[in-house]
Every structure is written in structure tokens, then in C-alpha cells.
Structure 1
Amino acid sequence: MALIHLTAQQRFEACLMTGAIGDAWGSSFENVSQATDSNTFYLGGKPPLPQRWAITDDTQLTLATCEVLAASQFEPALLMQKFVEYYRQQKLVGLGASTLKAIQDTEAGIHWTQTGRRGQYAAGNGAAMRIAPFAFYAATTKHTIYDACRITHQNEDAYASALAVFFAIRAAITQTWTGHNNLIQLLLPNLPDTNLKDRLLDIDSYSEDSSIAEIAQLGNNGYAVNSVPFAIFCATKILRLGLKELLRQVIATGGDTDTNASIVGQIAGSLLGPTGLLGPTGIPAELLQKLKLLPEYSWIRSVIDKDRDSVQ
């Protein structure tokens, strides 16, 4: 199916909306117990587990990033201060250990170049899940991504994962990636030699008809080397599956469900655009309606409107 022309503003809106949908939907499955209850008898069959959509730090930190980029030229210290501000206002839910430590370090007066975690324990996906807004700002460079990452995650795989998400969304914005060509091949030349790049190479060696469940077996937890390549592969299925079925399959594999679905949504949404523009392959109205019912929706909408004139 041919994609119609979309403006950067339309892709920006869709990126945030679909990322938030993936986050909220995925969070309802986060940490669901897998313990067996085979000895329990349920009259009429086992009832489904309750599912409550909720926005988490995946979307919250992305919105914080948008606010900083829209207000002024990017400075790592300003982004870190915005995270601290959100934390004090109790706007952040489900913070990862690296980001939480960075916030606490900043409150203790530590310079942003020294905050957060470093080494193998800093290889989480917290930087990748909030990097999307940078793809819509023309002045962004690899060094920008590096600084935006290291305020919380001082680790090469964490940086490479953020860079991969950034370039995936950039490829959608510029239509270098159309949904029909090989996204991973487009990303590889831009990435440093890391475990993250090696995983993408591994995935690229699989058949293009490989299923989401099959690739999930390589890893889909909160380790950036697992979650980000998995999410990028899943996003390449968007035209074949549509957003609803795509997110359903991503979440069904388990792992870090909210972040995986959020990153998939950000990349896929940047390609597709908002509801109505691409008919059934766009954002399904039912998913958008569920997002609108959340108390954070007005916040998401206000950030989109405020940033509308700032994107490239």
C-alpha cells in the first residue's frame, strides 16, 4: 500500500500517540504473574486477568523531553532538571534504576556528566524509550543523542539503542524507510560496534517472514540489547499486521511489555500518521478512544500542540 504524503508535524503527533497507546496497553500486562494455578478449578472457565491501561515513564519521560526541546536549544542539564521536576511533582511511574539514580544524584548536586549508572548495569532501555522527540528536531546529532543518553545511562549499548530508535524514526520521517524495504539494513551503518548492533545483525539474518514470537525468543526484557532490536524488528511488520494486531502480538510475547510496545508504536506511528489518513492501517479509532479516556491524555495533547511549531 502506498503511503500518502505526511508532514513532519503529522508524523510527530502519530509518534507520540502510538507510543503512548503501546505504553498504556503494554503496562496492563507488565509483571503479570506467570505462576501456574493448574490445581485451581474455575467454574465456567478461568476468568481473564483484569487489564487497566495506564501511562508510565516511557511516555512521561518522552513528554518531558518534548517540553525541553520545544523551549530552547538542547542542553543535557536542562533535560535532567526537567526529569527532577517531574519526579518532585510525582508525574513519573515505574522509573528504572538508572533514571531514578540519576534524578537522586542531581538532587544531591552531582553534575549531569556524573549522574546515573555506568557499566553493565546501565544497559537498560530507559534512554531508548524517550529518545523519539529528537528525531523531529533538525539540529540533533549523534553527540546530542550521546549526551541525552548519558545523563541517565552511561553505557555504549544503551547509547547505541537510543541511536537505533532515533535513526529508525528519522528513516520513517524522511521516507527512507517505506515499510516495504529493510529497516535494519538502513540502521546498521549508523551504529557503533556494540552488542546492540550484533543483535540487529543476528535478527537481520532471519527470514523476513519470521514471526514476532520467534524473534522474541532471542530476548525481549528490559536489557537494551534485547528490547530495542526486538522492537525495531516488530515495527517492520506494521504494514502487514496493522497497529492493533502488531501491538497485540508484541505484548503477547511478554518481557518488558510497556517499553517494547511503546517503542514499536513510536516507530510505526512515525511511518503511518494519525487516525484517518491511512484508513485501517492507521491508528485504530478504538485504541485512540481508550487513550483519550486516560487522565494523562490532555497532557499528551497539550505537549503535541505546544511542540507543533518546533518540529522540523
Structure 2
Amino acid sequence: MFAANDHQLNAEEKNISIEDRLVACLIGGAIGDAWGSAFENQPKVDNRKTFYWAPPKEPIREWAFTDDTQLTMATCEALLENKMVSPEILARYFVKYYRQRRLSGLGASTLKAIRELEAGVHWSQVGRSGEYAAGNGAAMRIAPFAFQTNLSREDLRQLCRITHRNEEAYVGALAVVLAIRAAIAGTWDGSNNLLEIIIPQLPDTLVRDRFITINERNASIADIATLGTDGYVVNAIPFAIFAASRVKGGEDMYGMFQSVIEAGGDTDTNASIAGQIAGALVGMEGIPVDLIEKMTDLDDFDRLIEIVDRMRNYVS
């Protein structure tokens, strides 16, 4: 499979290959998804002023892959079998996974799009538009395209439009791609400010405004979480990318995942995107091995590893 150590590496210690960054991006995202799925949208309860005859039972926290990992896997399969992926081809793989019952926890926009695609509607006419399409569904599955060097912004926009016909949703996905590419190129090495690299490259949107707001603060992940951690792309993507940017700024991967999940909200998507970006930065040796081992008994883990190993050749 692949090797990992439970320590962080500095950029000076090792030159991380693009193949290793891709593998770590996908594995980091899967860890965040599986871990975060056990805590998604569960409100924090303050029991300090409440008396119980017996302590309330804690909910069972079971790791599981959700649509964050599943749609990313579908995207990888589309890339592996079609070097240049069009929206039409990608849409076919989404429908394929849906028919095979490989998708769980789909958001409203993505579910609507896939059902319409299955009914024969053209990819450009499915899914939601308007403010209700400003979700995370496009951003959470876009990471593999960050490793495709000939992808234009218009290509990226069209790939997002399959499920989310909304400018904010597109810019959220663009921000994820830019963050991963900054790690690949070495313009972000963990010691400098990732947000200052991303902000000038984003169009004027609420997503960019939120990045600017975050960048003006000298804050922790928990502090930034107060701005919002739900499934609204303006809240989620800047928060997730900020969290990833802290991995070499005082937070290791384990601590980063914990901070994102403790913040609540859309924990699986937030932790998945943060894990993708941080993984692309630190490589496999920066991902705690016990977190990888915790995924081994999950449904679709073997399929995930098969796809990840095949993806090595995609960028080699």
C-alpha cells in the first residue's frame, strides 16, 4: 500500500514528490470525512446546570465514508479512464456511483442533479441555481483536478456546474484548487501565509471577502469557527482552508482534525477539505499512521486504496 509515519516533516527535510502529495491529499481527505462524519451537525450541549439521575449517554461515534470521499473517488475514476474529463463524462460517473448505491449523505443540490442526470437531462441543465446552490458539493470533490495542469478556470467552472450553478460555489472550489496547487508548486510551504497567496487570485465574491476577513485576524481555528462552519460555501471553504494552513503554524494533522471537528457544523466536509489541502502539503509521512489504520475496516476502504494507488500513475 503506502507507508506513513506519525510525525511532521518540514519542507527542508524532504522533497515531497507530486505522487506522494496526491496520495496524501486523497488519504487526508478520506480521514477527515470519516472522522468528521461521526460528529456532523451535532449541537454542543451544556449540561453544567442540568441535574440527571444518571449521566446522559454519549452518541455512538462511528467513522464512515460519505459523499465527500465517494464523489472524490468517482472523480478519480473518471480521470483514470479519461485523461481529459469533460462535465458530461464526470456526470456519467456520478450517475454510475448513484446507481451502484455508493453514495451516502448527498446534499440537496447534488442529489437533485444526479436524479435529473439519471432521468436523461443534459448536465448543463441539472442541479440547483441561485442562492440555494451556494453549498460545498463542488468544492468537496474538486481536489483531484488540482493535479491536472492543463485545466483552465472555465473548465473548472463547468465541472462545478454539474451540481452547483452558483458563482460562490465555483469560487469555493477554485480556492481549494489554488491551495493544493500552492502546496504542489512550493509557493506555500507551511511557514508562509496561504491566504495571502489565494486571495489575489479569487474574483470579487463573498468567499473572497470571508478570506480577507479571516486574514485580518490573528486567530485560532476555534476563533475563526465563530464566523460559521455550516454547509454554506462562504462559511465552510475559507474555514477549512484556514484550518489546513495552520498545520505547520502550530497545529499538526491530528490536532488540526480535532480542532475542525470540535468546531461543529458540517464537520465531515470541513475536515475532508482541510485534510486534502494539508495532506498535499505534508505528504504521507506527515499523516499519523494510526488515523490511516482506523479507516481499514470501513466499507469501501479497499476500493479507496485501489483508486489511490492507480492515481499515482496519473501524475507520474
Aligned match of 1:249 in 241, 246, 259? 259
Alignment partners' CA distance in 1, 2:222 and 2:170: 26
- Distance in 2 (CA, whole Å) between partners of 1:112 and 1:40 is 55
Aligned-pair identity in percent equals 50
Whether the aligned pair in 2 keeps the contact of 1:137 and 1:310 (CA below 8 Å) is: no
Aligned to 2:300: 296
Give the equivalent residue in structure 1 for 2:309. 305
**In structure 1, which of residues 54, 62, 66 is the aligned counterpart of residue 76 of structure 2?**
66
Q: Which runs of 5+ in 1 are unaligned?
A: none
CA distance in 2, matches of 1:91, 1:273: 28
Query: Per the alignment, in what secondary structure is the counterpart of residue 310 of structure 1?
Result: helix
Q: Residue 51 of structure 1 is aligned with which of 61, 76, 90? A: 61
> How many Å separate the matches in 1 of 2:213 and 2:223?
13
Q: Which residue of 2 aligns with 1:222?
A: 231
Shift of 1:292: 1.6
The residue aligned with 1:166 is 177
Q: Partner residue of 2:4?
A: none
For residue 34 of structure 2, what is the amino acid of its counterpart?
A
- The structural deviation recorded for 1:84 is 0.6
State the 1:251 CA deviation: 0.3
Q: CA RMSD in A?
A: 1.5
Residues 72-117 of structure 1, C-alpha deviations (whole Å, 9 max, x = no match): 1111011111101101110001000111111111122211111110
Residue 109 of structure 1 aligns with which residue? 120
Instruction: Please report how far the alpha carbon of residue 47 of structure 1 lies from its aligned counterpart in structure 2 after TM superposition.
Output: 4.5
Equivalent residue number for residue 232 of structure 1: 241
Q: Which runs of 4+ in 1 moved over 6 A?
A: none
- Contact kept, 8 Å, 1:132 with 1:169, in 2: the verdict is yes
Please state how far the C-alpha of 1:174 moved relative to its aligned partner: 1.0
Q: In structure 2, what residue type is equivalent to 1:144?
A: D
Q: Equivalences for 1:112-191 in 2 at 5 Å?
A: 112-191=123-202
What's the TM-score, normalizing by structure 1? 0.94
Measured against aligned partners, the alpha-carbon deviations of 1:125-156 in whole angstroms (never above 9, x if no partner) come to 10000000001112212112101100100000
Q: Could you give the per-residue CA deviations for residues 199-228 of structure 1, whole angstroms, max 9, x where no partner exists?
A: 101111111xx1111101111100000000
Task: Please tell me the residue identity of whatever aligns with 1:222.
Answer: G
| TM-score (normalizing by structure 2) | 0.92
Q: Is the 8 A contact 2:65 2:299 kept in 1?
A: no
Residue 2 (structure 1) aligned to one of 10, 23, 32: 10
The CA deviation at 1:293 is: 2.1
CA contact (8 A) 2:117 2:123 kept: yes
| Matched residue SS, 1:292 | coil
- Which of 285, 288, 291 lines up with 2:289 in the alignment? 285
* Distance (whole Å) between structure 2 residues aligned to residue 142 and residue 292 of structure 1: 36
Aligned counterparts of 1:265 and 1:30: Cα–Cα separation in 2: 16
Q: What is the rounded CA distance, in whole Å, between the counterparts of 1:49 and 1:241 in structure 2?
A: 27
For residues 192 and 74 of structure 2, the distance between their equivalents in structure 1, rounded to whole angstroms, comes to: 32
Q: What letter is aligned with 1:217?
A: T
Q: 1:49 to 1:141 in 2, by over 3 A?
A: same
CA deviation map 1:213-250 (0-9, x unaligned): 11011111000000000001111110221111110011
1:205 equivalent to 2:213? Answer no
* Correspondence list, 1:87-98, <5 A: 87-98=98-109
Return the letter of the residue paired with 1:78.
I
Structure 1 Cα separation of the partners of residues 155 and 38 of structure 2: 33
CA displacement, residues 243-273 of structure 1 (integer Å, 9 cap, x when unaligned):
1111001100101000000000000000001
Unaligned runs of 5+ in 2: 1-8
